[in-house]
């Protein structure tokens, strides 16, 4: 018996989601050298891949975009070591939107047009200013160390004992109006949970 088109589409989406989740689980659990695309792959390439995978498990409110054709934009600080690795992901698709990478000038203190904001610890002063201005906005803030979430960031990436790990600040994600999937939450260290929840 032939399944209706709707059900086939739904099954296809579910299967694609399961594959993406398994891929994220695999990346998050493997040693850094196993995650790397080759012997010369850097920590930055690994973090870029993780950021891209994480974005697939986050939903943004409608007001985060000006229209259906607007890309999903990740902003990185100019001259940050991750810039090259992130730029290689330009043009890929997430949630039906083109994944676009923008560089933020070192003097920039706003995050306009960014749905994802990666803030490196190598630009500490700018990191804190941008993070402060992004608080409460529909922007997924990601930092490259576990302490990032203690300053109000949403996701902190960390390489510990040769494994990629990440922490999620639930309170910060809720303030930003972002919906993070339960599958992603299962893989992370969670902070910022309201008492009585």
How distant is the alpha carbon of residue 51 from its chain centre? 4
Structure-block tokens of residue 15 = 């299967």
The class level of CATH for 5-191 reads alpha beta
Angle between helices 5-29 and 43-55 (to 10 degrees): 150
**140 or 132: whose pLDDT is higher?**
140
pLDDT, tens digit, 9 for 90 and up, residues 69-111: 999 999 998 888 888 899 999 999 998 999 999 998 877 767 7
**139 or 41: whose pLDDT is higher?**
139
Parse the chain into domains and list their residue ranges.
Answer: 5-191
Q: What is the per-residue pLDDT for 120?
A: 83
Find the DSSP H helices in the chain. 5-29, 32-35, 43-55, 83-87, 124-134, 170-175, 182-186
Global pTM value: 0.78
């Amino acid at each position: 018996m032939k399944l209706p088109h709707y059900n086939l589409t739904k099954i296809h989406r579910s299967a694609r989601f399961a594959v993406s989740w398994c891929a994220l689980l695999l990346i998050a659990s493997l040693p850094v050298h196993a995650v790397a695309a080759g012997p010369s792959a850097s920590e930055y390439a690994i973090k870029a891949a993780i950021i891209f995978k994480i974005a697939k498990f986050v939903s943004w409110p409608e007001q985060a975009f000006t229209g259906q054709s607007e890309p999903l934009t990740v902003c990185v600080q100019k001259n940050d070591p991750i810039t090259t690795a992130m730029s290689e992901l330009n043009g890929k698709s997430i949630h039906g939107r083109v994944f676009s990478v923008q560089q933020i000038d070192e003097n920039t203190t706003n995050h306009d047009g960014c749905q994802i904001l990666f803030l490196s610890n190598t630009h500490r002063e700018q990191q804190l200013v941008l993070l402060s201005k992004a608080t409460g906005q529909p922007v997924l803030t990601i930092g490259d160390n576990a302490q990032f979430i203690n300053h109000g960031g949403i996701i902190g990436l960390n390489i510990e004992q040769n494994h990629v790990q990440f922490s999620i600040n639930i309170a910060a994600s809720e303030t930003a109006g972002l919906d993070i999937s339960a599958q992603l939450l299962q893989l992370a260290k969670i902070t910022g949970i309201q008492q009585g929840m």
